[in-house]
Structure 1
Amino acid sequence: MTKRLPLSVFIIAQDEADRISRPIESVRDWVDEVVVIDSGSRDDTRKIAESLGARVVHNDWAGYGPQKRFGEDQCRNDWLLNLDADEEVTPGLAAEIKARFADGSYRNADGWRVMIRDTFAHEHEPATWAYGYHQIRLYDRRKGRFSQSTVHDTVRPEAGAQIANLSGIMAHRSLKSLDFQVFKYNRYSNMQVEDMEMRGRSIPRLRLLTEFPLSFVKGYVFRRYWRYGWWGLILAMNYAHSRFLRVAKAYQTDLVKERSS
C-alpha cells in the first residue's frame, strides 16, 4: 500500500456529478484525506464523492472565498492542497509533490504555486501552449489562508511567508460544453458587478467600445487560442463576450441608479 502523505485535499462543489470523480481520483491514493464541501447538490455529487472515499461536508454557499475558508477548517492536516471540481492533478504534478514530501523539501516554502492549464473536453491532457496561470494551491494554512472575497478565491500568504513554484501542471477542465460556458459567464458577470458595487467601483463607459475587440485580441493572440484553429476562434469570441457582458451589466446598473435618483 502506498504511504499516504500528511496532506489534506479539499474541493468545493455543487451539482458536479459528471466531473467530481476526476479530481478525487487524481489524489485519493496518496493523500491522507479528501474533503468535499458541498453547497447543496441536487444530483449525485455527494454519493459519487463518498463512493470514491471522500468525506463530504455540507455548507450553504457563501461565496468562493468564504466557502474555501470553511473547507480549510474541515481539514485535519495543516498542509493543504486545494482543487476545484473541474481540475485534476496530472501524474507529473503528483510525482513532484510526492518527491518533495519524501525528502522534506516541501518545507522549503510555506506555499507553492501551481500552473493551472486549460484542458478541453476533446483533450486527454493540456496542450503545451494552453493558456494557464499560477496560483498558490499547496500551502501551510498556518502561513496563509484563502481570502474572504466572495468572487475571488485566492490564497493570501502572511507577511514574510515564503512562496515558490512547482513545475508540475494541474489540468483545468472548466469548459464541459458551450452551453455551460455561456451559463457560467452570465452568472459570474452578475457576481462581478455586485462585487464592484459593494466596493464602490465603476467602469468607464468608453470600455463599451473597447472591451470586446481588446479582449478578443487578448484571447486569440496572447492566450494563444489561435493555436486551436476554429475551436480557438470560438474560445476567443466567447471570452470577449464574457468581458463585454460585465461592462454592459455595470452600465445597466448605472442607468437604473440614475433613473431612481
Structure 2
Amino acid sequence: MVDSGSTDGTLEICRDFGATCLHRDWEGYGQQKRFAETMASHDWILNLDADEWLTEATRAELSRLLSAPIREDLHGFEFRITQVYPGDARPRPFADYHTYVRLYDRTRCRFPDSAVFDEVKIPAAHKGRIRAPIFHQSIRSIAHLVEKNILYYRLQTGEIKKKSPLTPVRIAFEPLLVFFKYYFMKRHVTGGVYGFIVAITIAMLRTYRLAILHFPKERTR
C-alpha cells in the first residue's frame, strides 16, 4: 500500500491486516501509481484506490481466474467500477459506473506518468473482463465532492494548456447539459433528493472547470 500522508487511521488498518505500507509524497495520480508498480513483488497487479473495495463475488471470480495460468494474449482485465453514495454499503438501483483496467501485467502496460490521467490503456484484443464489480465510494459528502473536484481541476490546468474559442459558449450551456447527463443518463434520478443534489453540484463544478481553463487568473484563487 502506498500512502501520501493520510491521518485517518488507514495505515494502522492496513498494517493490522499484514500489508506492507510505503510512504511517498504526493505529486499526482499517475506518478503515485507508477511508484506503486515499481514496488510490487509480482508482475500482475490489482490496483485499488483507498475508496474502493472488492465484493464477495469479485473476490471469488478473481480467485478462480488466478488459480490457473493466465492466457499469454491477455495483458489485463477491466472491471465495472460502480458508484456508492456516502454512508451506503451498496450502490443505489441502476447506479452509474465506469469501466477501467485494474488487474494487469506491468511488463505489458502501466499507468501513464501524468498528474491527472491515471488509466491503464490496453488494446481490446489483449483485454479480458471481470464480470463482478468493484464498489467505489468516491465522496464522503457534498462538501467533499466540491473540494475534491476543485483540487482535481486545478491539477488539470497544469497539463491542459490549450484554450478553445468555444469555451465561452460551452460555459453558457454546460450546467443544463451536465445536469441532464448525470441526473438522467447516469441515473442519479434513482438516488432521490440526494441524487438530485449530486447531479446539480457536478453540473456547477464542470462549469467551474471550464472557467478556470479559460481564464488563467482564476487558477491561483
Q: 2:4 aligns with which of 5, 17, 39?
A: 39
Q: 1:129 aligns with which of 51, 75, 94?
A: 94
Hey, what's the Cα distance between the residues in 2 that align with 1:180 and 1:100?
Answer: 36
> Aligned letter for 2:158?
E
- Partner in structure 2 of residue 14 of structure 1: none
- Partner in structure 1 of residue 146 of structure 2: 182
- TM-score normalized by structure 2? 0.90
Q: Write out per-residue CA displacement over residues 71-95 of structure 1, whole angstroms, 9 at most, x where no aligned residue.
A: 0011101110000000001111111
Is the partner of 1:228 in helix, strand or coil?
helix
1:222 matches 2:166: no
Q: 1:208 to 1:254 in 2, by over 3 A?
A: farther
> Which one has more relative contact order, counting CA pairs under 8 Å at least 6 apart?
2
- Partner in structure 2 of residue 212 of structure 1: 175
- TM-score normalized by structure 1? 0.77
Tell me the CA shift for residue 170 of structure 1: 0.2
Q: 1:84 aligns with which of 49, 52, 69?
A: 49
Tell me the CA shift for residue 123 of structure 1: 2.1
Alignment size in residue pairs: 218
- How is 1:94-105 mapped onto 2 (pairs within 5 angstroms)? 94-105=59-70
Alpha carbon RMSD of aligned pairs, Å? Answer: 2.1
Kept in 2: contact 1:86–1:173 (CA 8 A): yes
Give the unaligned 5+ runs of structure 2: none
- Partner in structure 2 of residue 196 of structure 1: 160
| Higher strand proportion | 1
- How is 1:1-261 mapped onto 2 (pairs within 5 angstroms)? 36-105=1-70, 109-157=74-122, 162-197=126-161, 200-202=162-164, 204-253=167-216
Hey, what's the Cα distance between the residues in 2 that align with 1:255 and 1:181?
Answer: 20
Kept in 1: contact 2:85–2:92 (CA 8 A): no
Sequence identity of aligned pairs in percent? 33
> Aligned letter for 1:52?
F
